[in-house]
Amino acid sequence: MKFKDIIGLVLALLLAIAVAFLTRYFLIEEAPKEAPVAQETRALKILVASKSLDTGTKIQPGDLVWQSWPNNSLNNSYIQEGTIQLDSLTGSVILEHIDTGEPVIITNLVQPGEKSILAALLPPGKRAISIDVTPQAISSGLIQPGDYVDVLLSKTISPTAAQQYGQTTAVVNNIKVLALDTVMGESTQKPANSTTSIPKVATLEVSPGQADLITAAAKEGSLSLSLHSISNKEVVTVEKPLTGMVTLMRGKEKTTVQVNK
């Protein structure tokens, strides 16, 4: 092979390599750039309820747990891991119902010694008043905190020495039961059998005027509670005395009398 042919072959090979290189270079430059991979959202841990906690519930060990929470869904009111010790919240009282897995907000807790639990549960302008109750007056213990009731006054009227009759009237209507004895909060479960531990004191949420009416009525006769339906929250404004035959109990003595209007 002549020297000239060898030079031509080498030049052709170099030209082919240059064309291939330039072609690859331009193809890469014109190719669309891939979108940058989104950074993985960093998850923090916040404090949530491990079970459903009713209003007035005292926090016990295990009621609150740390749970991973997306950083882009974080609220400033949530309690983040490392900012508080779980042991310091034991004994605190829940002011508003918390569902399972719901974030806990520090303002929804009243810690021991911080302030009165009952005062914290009262809305502005409301008062709490307690009355003595009997099993009959509280529907054998079936009325629970969170229910709405009417307060009824029952008394015996004796126009003459030979005549007496009973009278029941509504003192106040549609008021909320805050607590029974020392149990507070709205319970979602009613006891199937409440023959034991029937409350003796009911604490009610009332206005100042209603508190005056109940206090005065307690001196006139016996008070009882009439339960409202959960779907019936209207306020009854007029109550008529009972009529007919009414049985009065005085210790072991039973007397049946005629109730007049």
Residues 30-55: pLDDT tens digits? Answer: 555 555 544 445 568 999 999 999 88
What pLDDT is recorded for position 251?
45
**What would the pLDDT profile of 112-134 be if each residue is shown by its tens digit?**
766 667 777 778 889 999 998 88
**What would the pLDDT profile of 212-261 be if each residue is shown by its tens digit?**
999 999 888 889 898 887 765 544 443 444 445 555 544 445 555 555 54
Q: What backbone torsions phi and psi does residue 202 show, to the nearest 5 degrees? A: -115, 135
Answer positive or negative: Cα dihedral of 118, 123, 129, 135.
negative
**What would the pLDDT profile of 167-195 be if each residue is shown by its tens digit?**
889 999 999 998 888 776 654 444 444 44
Rg (CA), the chain: 38
Q: What are the structural domains of the chain? A: 43-120 (3.90.1210.10), 123-259 (no CATH)
Tokens 């891939």 belong to which residue?
A: 34
Mean pLDDT score of the chain, rounded to an integer? 76
What pLDDT is recorded for position 252?
47
Sorting pLDDT into bands at 50, 70 and 90, what band is 211? very high
- Span between the terminal Cα atoms of the chain, in Å: 138
Tell me what percent of the residues of the chain surpass a pLDDT of 90. 22
> Any idea of the CA torsion for 222, 227, 232, 234, to the nearest 10 degrees?
20
User: Is residue 66 scored above 90 in pLDDT?
Assistant: yes
84 vs 230: which has the higher pLDDT: 84
Instruction: Give the C-alpha separation, 253 to 117, whole Å.
Output: 42
Question: Hey, which bits of the chain come out as E strands?
Answer: 43-49, 64-70, 93-94, 109-110, 127-132, 148-160, 163-180, 183-184, 201-206, 222-227, 244-250, 253-259
Sorting pLDDT into bands at 50, 70 and 90, what band is 63? very high
3-state secondary structure of 240: coil
What pLDDT is recorded for position 206?
93
Instruction: Give the C-alpha separation, 145 to 183, whole Å.
Output: 8
- For 164, which DSSP code? E
What pLDDT is recorded for position 195?
45
Count CB neighbours of 56 within 10 A: 25
User: Is residue 108 scored above 50 in pLDDT?
Assistant: yes
What pLDDT is recorded for position 257?
52
Token pair for 26: 């331009």
What pLDDT is recorded for position 194?
43
Nearest in space to 151 (alpha carbons), one of 208, 199, 218: 218
Instruction: Give the C-alpha separation, 129 to 150, whole Å.
Output: 14
